[in-house]
Amino acid sequence: MSKSAKPSRKKSLEAAIANTLSDVFSEIKSAVGDKKFEKKIKKASKILAAGAAKKPAKVKQPKKDKSSKNSNKQKLSSKESNSIAVQAAQNTHPAGSDSPANNASN
């Protein structure tokens, strides 16, 4: 692996956590000792980063089938579909026209 490669997400997160922990607990460093303190900080940052480094799993939503839309609609009988077509045709004619469909409805 080349040295120019960027560090992994987990490693960069561990380093950030280690910096924060060492800043916060700097008073303990003199009491415990440098070497022991660095080991404990490294161990704590590794544990804390273990769960956070993983990307959250995406929740997969089920795909919607086009056939399910059509299955929910009720199928019209041929008489009902013809009557709907006639009503639509009557609504599209202008009010002043002398078509037989308008004369029958008046």
Specify whether the CB–CB gap between 65 and 73 falls below 8 A. Answer: no
Tokens linked to 6 = 């960027």
d(CA 97, CA 95): 6
Structural domain spans, the chain: 9-52, 77-105
Q: What is the pTM of this model?
A: 0.46
pLDDT digits (tens, 9 = 90+) for 18-57: 999 999 998 998 899 999 999 999 999 999 988 776 666 6
**Per-residue pLDDT at 82:** 65
Q: What are phi and psi of 99, to 5 degrees?
A: -80, 150
Most confident by average pLDDT, 4-8, 14-18, 87-91: 14-18
Residue 33: left (phi > 0), alpha (psi -120 to 50), or beta?
Answer: left
Q: What is the mean pLDDT of the chain?
A: 75
Measured CA distances, 81 to 75, 76, 89, 93 (Å): 9, 6, 12, 19
